[in-house]
Amino acid sequence: MLETTWFVLWGVLWAVYFMLDGFDLGLGILKPFLARNEEEHRIVMNTMGPFWDGNEVWLLTAGGATFAAFPGTYAVMFSALYTPLMLLLFALILRGISYEFREKEDVGWWRKTWDTSHFVGSLLPALLLGVAFANIFAGIPIDREGIFHGNLLTLLNPYGLAGGVFFVLLFSVHGALWLANKAEGALRERAQHTIRVLWIALTIVAVAFLAFTWFATSLWQNLLARPFLLLLPAVAVAGLLGTRLFVARRELWKAWFASCATIVGSTLFGVAGLYPALLPSSLDPSYSRTAFNTQSSPLTLSIMLGVALVMVPVVIAYQSWVYYRFKDPVTVKSLALEDLY
């Protein structure tokens, strides 16, 4: 029971991370194409400025939960996926310092360098996370000892790359929706146009990825064995359709929350389809790392569950306050404040 509880928590933590950090990763991807001048660059930066580092707390929490609850999976994952995970880490570091370093010098080449760093530090994590999770859904070539039989190119297979493209488009739409809510004037209109264009591409890729998933993985078969779990892809589809409907009605906050439903539904669809595997083996299912052969002791799981039940609501309360405190749109007038990027 504790193993299953922690498996569910593991999936929820990843879903919350993608939902929250997804919009600022998407904004980082879109900023070079949406911001036409220095003023607009600063507006885009400050629409995510108060939130991005708090959003990444959920990445640390998801990684920490994997380490604490399923150390056997954590060990194999960081061995098999070492290269993409290190690339992800370096990209996130690059993105983090770009927020601060960009404003240190009022020189064109300096700001262009850090704008490029921010773009790379946003695009690469979105792509790598999609590639990594798609490969996990399909199965990683690991043997009985957890040794990875392959290299980075092994992970860059057609299904893995399809997952990467899906994540990039999903986060880009999510980020454009956030900007449409937080900006004004021409930048807001540009964001709304981008949403309409990218939504079409996202829908096509999403349908193709779901169809590809049927042949490349056993996710659909596992969900069909527990039909009530089909609610999860239904939520994702409803969120995707709702996003376009609310954008057409210019109900942009509703559209953003519909996008949240798409991200959460998609993530939990994949996680539920994996159960009880955390890291399936494509060589032999018996080599898979699951919630029942890599878990910590019952005492550790019990203590960690108690900690999670106390601390996660604290994090949620704090982040809710931050989102409420900075709920207003970022305007040209507000850029005059000294503590803005």
* pLDDT tens over the chain, length 341 residues: 889 999 999 999 999 999 999 999 999 999 999 999 889 998 999 999 889 988 999 998 998 889 999 999 999 988 888 888 899 999 999 999 998 888 888 888 898 999 999 999 999 999 999 999 999 999 999 999 889 998 888 999 999 999 999 999 999 999 999 999 999 999 999 999 999 999 999 999 999 999 999 999 999 999 999 999 999 999 999 999 999 999 999 999 999 999 999 999 999 999 999 999 999 999 999 999 999 998 999 999 999 999 889 988 999 999 999 999 999 898 887 777 656 66
In sequence order, what are the beta bridge partners of 279? Answer: 289
Q: Decide: 126 and 25 in contact? Cβ < 8 Å.
A: yes
Nearest to 175, CA basis, from 277, 38, 55: 55
Give a yes or no: residue 69 inside a domain: yes
Give a yes or no: residue 23 inside a domain: yes
Give a yes or no: residue 291 inside a domain: yes
Give a yes or no: residue 235 inside a domain: no
Give a yes or no: residue 206 inside a domain: yes
Q: Decide: 171 and 26 in contact? Cβ < 8 Å.
A: yes
How many residues does the structure list for the chain? 341
**pLDDT of res. 108:** 82
**Secondary element (H or E) of residue 94:** helix 82-101
**pLDDT of res. 331:** 83
Q: Decide: 32 and 119 in contact? Cβ < 8 Å.
A: yes
N-terminal to C-terminal alpha carbon distance within the chain:
47
> 162: domain range?
2-230+270-336
**pLDDT of res. 221:** 93
Count the domains in the chain: 1
Give a yes or no: residue 262 inside a domain: no
**pLDDT of res. 296:** 92
Give a yes or no: residue 216 inside a domain: yes
Q: Decide: 289 and 72 in contact? Cβ < 8 Å.
A: yes
**pLDDT of res. 338:** 57
pTM listed for this prediction: 0.94
Give the single-character DSSP code of 294: S
